[in-house]
Amino acid sequence: MAEPYVTLTPLGGLGEIGMNCMALETADSMVLVDCGLMFPDDYLLGVDVVIPCLDFIIERKEKLKGIVLTHGHEDHIGALPWLMQRVNVPLYSSEFTLALIRRKLEEHGLAETTTFCPVKGRDTVELGDFTFHFFRVCHSIIEGFGLGIETPIGKIVHTGDFKIDRNPMDGHATDLDAFRDFSQDGVTLMCSDSTNVEREGFALTEREIKASLNNIVQRAPGRILVTLFSSHIQRIQEIFDLAEKFGKKVAVSGKSIASNIEIAKELGHLHFSQKNYCELEDLPGLQDSETVLILTGSQGEPLSALSRLSRGEHRQLNVHQGDTVIMSSRFIPGNTKAITKVINDLYRLGAEVLYKKVQAIHASGHAHKEELRIMFNTVHPKFFIPIHGEYRHLLMHTKLARECGVAPERTIIREDGQPVTFFKDSIRLEETIKAESLLVDGKGVGDVGQTVIKERQILGGEGLVIVVLVVDPNDRGIVLGPQILSKGFIFEQHLSHILEDAKEIVLDVYENIDPRDTKKLKERIRSSLRRFFKKILGRDPIVVPLVIDISQDDK
C-alpha cells in the first residue's frame, strides 16, 4: 500500500497580496481553497484583472471534489467565473459569501449549473480524503472562515484572512476556542495570513472605529459622505446605526454597495428601517444636516460615485460647502495617486475630507503581530507555511513562527507554483510548476502576454506611425503614397516637416529594394524610419508599414 501524502500547491497569494488560490491533493482527491483575482498594476495597460493559472486545476478536474471559499473578497472568489466554465464541482462557504458568488456567476451565465453548499461556523464537510471544519473569524467582511482540515497525514489549519478583535461587536469574533479544540491532539501544519506581520501590537477594534465615527457624525455641520469597501457590511451597519441615532437619513450611490446592501438585508445581516433610508431623488427635500450618503469610490476608481462627484460629473449629486467626506478604508498600494487626486478635488469644492492618516476611521481586517502570535499559541503547529503576502511578509512571518516555538527547519517559505508534499513523518519540496498568472482583457484570457504589454507601453510612451504605400511592381511604379499617419507621436501642425522628411526616406528605400519583395521592403522602411525618428527627435515609436501590391490582385 502506497504511503499516504498531501501535496499543497499554491497557485496564487504566496509572493503577492491578492489572487489567493491553493490546491490540496492526495492520490485520489483534490480540493481547492479559494480562487481569487488581483487587480492589475499600472504597467499592465488595458488589462481588466489578473487571475491564477488554472491549467493545474483543469488537468486534475476528475479528482476535484469541491472548492472551499474562506470569505467573499474579490482576492478570494474573483476568479471563479473563469474556473467554473471548465469545471463543475460544488462550492462551500457561508451563506453571504455564496450569495456574492451567485451574483457574480449570474453575470457569466454560470449560476444555474453551479451547486452552492452553505455552511455555518463549526460545521464539518467531507470532501474525498479531506474533512473540513469551518471556524468563524473576524475580518473586514462578514461570515469569513478559518479552516481545520483533517487529512491522511494529520491536521492542517488554514487561518483564512483574520484578526482577533479584543472587544468584538455583534458576535463578529474569531472563534479561538474552535481553533484550540481542533488543535488539541496536534496540528501537522498551519498556513496563516501574513498581510500585517510588519505591524506591531494589535489592530484597531471595530468598537474604536465606531466611537470615532460617532464623534465625527455628531460634530459634522452639513452632509456626511462615507466611502468604504462595498463588502464591509459591519461598517455599513454602523453608519445606519449612527444615522438613526442622530436623526439622519441614509442614501446610497454606487452599484456594488447597493447590491451588497440588498444581499445583506435579505439574509438578515443588515438591519435598518425605511424611515432611516431614502432614495437619491429624495435628497433635495432634506436639510444637509439630515443627510448621510454612502458611496463607492474608496480607491479613487475613475467611474465610481465619489470620483464622479469630485469632478462635478455625478448626474444626481454635487459637493456642498461644508460637506464632511469620510474615507473609511485603507489605501491599497497602487491606488494612492488616484485617491489623493479625489481628496484634493473634494477640498477644492469645499468639503472636509477625513481619511485614515488623519483620523481613526478604519481598522484593518488582518491580524497584527500580537494577534498572529496568539494564533501560534492557540494552534501550536509542527510545521508552518506563511500565506497571503509578498516575500518580505512571508519571511517576517517565519521569523515570528520561530519566536513562537516552531523549529527553524519546519518553517517553510513557498511561492506560487512551488508545491510541498507532506507525509506522516517527512516532507518533500517538489519541483516548481507553471503558475504564471493570466491577464484578462475583455473576453480574452491569457492571450495578452508580455509582448503585447510591451507594445502597449511603447504606444503609450512613444506613439504609432503608419506608412501606407500602394505599389505596382510590374512597372516599378508607386500608385499611392507614401502616406504617413501619426497617432500619439507628434503634433503634426507643428512638426509636419518631420513627416515630409520621413516620406523622402520611404521613397529612397523603395528605389533601392525590389518592390516585389514586400517583406524586405516593409522591414527596411520600419528600420530606416525608426533610426530617423530616434536621431531627430529621440523617440522610438512603433512603425507599421502597409505595403499593398496591386499586381497581386490582378492574378
Rounded to 5°, angle at Cα 209 from 344 and 219: 65
* φ/ψ (deg, to 5) at 201: 70, -140
Rounded to an integer, the average pLDDT of 431-460 is 73
Of 125-134, 318-327, 401-410, where does mean pLDDT reach its minimum?
318-327
Rounded to an integer, the average pLDDT of 498-521 is 80
Where are the chain's structural domains? 6-201+364-445, 206-355, 462-554
Q: Evaluate if residue 555 carries a pLDDT over 50.
A: no
pLDDT value of position 493: 61
pLDDT value of position 540: 81
- pLDDT category of residue 455 using cuts at 50, 70 and 90: low
Highest mean pLDDT of the ranges 34-38, 51-55, 180-184, 534-538: 180-184
pLDDT value of position 494: 65
pLDDT value of position 45: 58
Contact present, 161 and 191 (Cβ < 8 Å): no
Rounded to an integer, the average pLDDT of 44-54 is 77
> Strand pairing partners for 23?
9, 32
Rounded to an integer, the average pLDDT of 70-92 is 96
147 exposure class (CB count in 10 Å sphere: 0-12, 13-18, 19+): buried
Domain 206-355 fold:
Rossmann fold (3.40.50)
Residue 124 corresponds to which amino acid? T
Residue 138 DSSP one-character state? B
Domain 462-554 fold:
Ubiquitin-like (UB roll) (3.10.20)
Rounded to an integer, the average pLDDT of 274-298 is 92
Active site residues: 193, 366
Pairwise CA distance, residues 395 & 386, whole Å: 8
The residue to which cell 476556542 is assigned: 177
Contact present, 485 and 466 (Cβ < 8 Å): yes
Residue 225 corresponds to which amino acid? L
Rounded to an integer, the average pLDDT of 160-187 is 93
CATH class of 6-201+364-445: alpha beta
pLDDT value of position 509: 81
Residue 542 corresponds to which amino acid? I
- pLDDT category of residue 170 using cuts at 50, 70 and 90: confident
- pLDDT category of residue 359 using cuts at 50, 70 and 90: low
Contact present, 157 and 123 (Cβ < 8 Å): no
Q: Where are the beta strands (DSSP E) in 34-143?
A: 49-51, 64-68, 91-93, 116-118, 124-127, 130-137
pLDDT value of position 213: 93
Closest residue by Cα to residue 539 from 486, 484, 500: 486
Rounded to an integer, the average pLDDT of 527-534 is 87
pLDDT value of position 444: 64
pLDDT value of position 486: 79
pLDDT value of position 449: 63
Pick the residue with more confidence: 92 or 488? 92
